[in-house]
Chain A
Amino acid sequence: MQSNSMFGVRRSAFGVSFLNPMLNQLTISELTARLAKREVSAREAMQSCLDQIARVDGKIHAFISYDAADALAQADAADKTMAAGTTPAQKPLLGVPVAVKDVFAVKNQPLNCGSKILGKFVSPYDATVVEKLKSAGAIVFGRLNMDEFAMGSSTENSAFGVTRNPWDPTRIPGGSSGGSAAAVAADEAIATLGSDTGGSIRQPAALCGCVGLKPTYGRVSRYGLVAFASSLDQIGPFTKNVCDAATMLGVISGHDPRDSTSVPQPVPDYAAGLTGSAPDGPSIKSLKLGLPKEYMIGGLDAEVKAAVDTAVKQFEKLGAEIVEISLPHTDYGVSVYYIIATAEASANLARFDGIRYGARVEGADPIELYCRTRGAGFGAEVKRRIILGTYVLSSGYYDAYYLRAQKVRTLIRNDFLQAFEQVDAIVTPTSPTAAFKIGEKSDDPLQMYLSDIFTISCNLAGICGISVPCGFTKNPKLPIGLQLLGKPFGEETLLKLARAYEANTLWHREKTAIVN
């Protein structure tokens, strides 16, 4: 079954590669090791991913589009670079296929943000993270499906169709980076890149059973990321394990003068902190893990709670000390977020006006042109949020809503900073439930918003967070994610804890049947 080809991109040749059918199932470390030993070529690895996409993407639709010829050309270039002597130490992602969410500018590739309003837009430049991936030797390919302009928790809001959860195609993969999570879970790419404004990396990672990392605000440059909410957006990786997440984080992090919110904080060798440790992971003895009492509440699914409880006991067995903490303003997170994020979005999306780029519906005067273009080009969720955001910023309402929300944001941030004086990291469920059915919440926007309760405060506070697989529901078998939250620029501790847990469990090794 042919998947969507809206931009005239060429598809890979049909048929399975008989050379190395398993390459797409490898991790970054496994693939780079085999590439370095010349056991396999980058071309074979890329072809293996393309074959998998041909095999499964008809069922899950993680990709909006991809340029197979360009991807294979990049692979050939990587093979030449390797033949000339470049090592993984010099280029840690050399020859590794990495697909990207349709929200990043990749020079000469389409950019749609899951929306109709960008029309046939082709990026004239690379986002900083894309430049960094390419400098590290990665094969950057594909446009992964997403909720339109990153607004959503289910990838049901895309103008390009719904992405399906590889564990159960009648269910959502999460959102807004649903395509990014599904592609890793289905071994269509070795790793992917997504963005997280209120949980859009961590929640789909949890629902699809892979690792998803949201760095501290300012850790990664947002230049070339189409902005949703400028004070909340952050870019991060989806990977098959924690070591790969550390490798990706090391590549994409760093100060960028083109993003004035990127922080001039040195980038440690995140991967080195984890590799070389014993098979049972780095030591986390005497690290303190906070368990916020407000998170183990009502709407939390019983199986999710059980999986997280078991995970917490596992951390105790590994030597961490569990401390009950309180994040008293937890309950206000969703309200604060849907004022601040929508306000910022209403400003950021004002640029889509049919004048300089994108789709256009003509009008007798500019205002009519704007109204018609935006009315036709934006989907329902985007319109909902733009209107809400415009309202809370409008004259007479600004103080009661936006200014008040910013003050409560301070209270939420202080909850975390105070907690981090007692503990090294905080452990929570990522999502109150496992993946729900497609269509189940799409008629009730507020219900959809409330499902972000555990991930949202992290963005408001500007701290870092990771989701790792920690179990499955029984029937059907659906992934459950464990979230760890760390201090600002505390990614090293976060990764250490996540790696220690992963090294002592087998959840991350399980694959969905769709992969075979």
Chain B
Amino acid sequence: MAAPQLDIKYVAHLARLQLAPDEEKKLGAQLDGILGYIEKLKELDVAGVEPTAHAGPLVNVMRPDEVRPSLPHADALRNAPAQANGLFMVPKIVE
């Protein structure tokens, strides 16, 4: 059973990844191969099997709703590629 064709342009856009045309082609082919291999999972009967999201015993780990110190402002900005007035700079979002 063949894997459905991966629409690489669409998925790359979902992932906000710009690919060069030759990258698109190469990656597309490699991913089709990988998806072809992964098809073997469809052999298994998983009726009634609960999914495992993580293999640990913990659920809903909470802490008291108390204010605690967070990363100081200056530290948070320290690695910013572009900043102004103590804020991260971004390109215009709305006209």
Q: Which residue numbers of A lie inside 8 Å of B, CB to CB?
A: 119-122, 124-125, 217-218, 230-231, 257, 260-261, 263, 329, 331-332, 334-336, 338-339, 346, 350, 353-360, 362-372, 374-376, 378, 380, 383-384, 386-388, 390-391, 394, 397, 400-401, 403-411, 413, 445-446, 449, 460-463, 488
Contact A384/B46 with A374-B18, A378-B17, A461-B55 known, Cβ cut-off 8 Å: no
Contacts of A125 on B, CB cut-off 8 Å? 71, 75
**Residue B21, interface by CB 8 Å:** no
Who on chain A is nearest to B92 by CB? A365
CB-defined interface of B19-38 with A at 8 Å, one 1/0 digit per residue? 11001000100110111011
Who on chain B is nearest to A352 by CB? B16
In the assembled complex, the CB of B20 is this many whole angstroms from the nearest CB of chain A, namely 8
Can you list the 6 inter-chain pairs with the closest CB atoms, starting with the nearest? A462-B55, A375-B18, A406-B51, A231-B54, A357-B79, A360-B81
With A218-B58, A261-B56 given, can you name 17 additional A-B contacts, CB distance below 8 Å?
Answer: A120-B79, A124-B71, A261-B61, A263-B56, A355-B81, A356-B80, A360-B82, A365-B92, A367-B16, A378-B17, A384-B30, A388-B35, A391-B6, A403-B51, A404-B42, A406-B52, A413-B52
Contact A384/B18 with A366-B91, A408-B44, A462-B56 known, Cβ cut-off 8 Å: no
Who on chain A is nearest to B8 by CB? A387
Contacts of B42 on A, CB cut-off 8 Å? 400, 404
Contact A404/B17 with A261-B54, A363-B91, A413-B52 known, Cβ cut-off 8 Å: no
Contacts of A405 on B, CB cut-off 8 Å? 41
**Are A374 and B16 in contact, with the CB atoms below 8 A?**
yes
- The residues in B between 56 and 83 inclusive whose CB is less than 8 angstroms from any CB of A are 56-58, 61, 63, 71, 75-76, 78-82
Contacts of A394 on B, CB cut-off 8 Å? 11, 14
**Assembled-state Cα–Cα distance A356/B83 (Å):** 9
Q: Which among A260, A375, A409 is the interface contact of B51 at CB below 8 angstroms?
A: A409
**Are B57 and A404 in contact, with the CB atoms below 8 A?**
no
**Are A388 and B31 in contact, with the CB atoms below 8 A?**
yes
Who on chain A is nearest to B19 by CB? A375
Contacts of A445 on B, CB cut-off 8 Å? 30, 33-34
**Assembled-state Cα–Cα distance A335/B12 (Å):** 21
**Are B34 and A338 in contact, with the CB atoms below 8 A?**
yes
**Are A390 and B14 in contact, with the CB atoms below 8 A?**
yes
Give 30 pairs: A residue, B residue, CB < 8 Å, sorted on A: A119-B79, A122-B78, A217-B54, A230-B54, A263-B58, A332-B44, A334-B37, A338-B34, A355-B80, A356-B76, A356-B88, A369-B91, A371-B18, A375-B20, A383-B23, A386-B15, A387-B8, A387-B11, A387-B15, A391-B11, A391-B31, A400-B42, A404-B46, A407-B46, A407-B49, A407-B52, A408-B46, A409-B55, A445-B30, A445-B33
In the assembled complex, the CB of A316 is this many whole angstroms from the nearest CB of chain B, namely 31
**Assembled-state Cα–Cα distance A366/B8 (Å):** 21
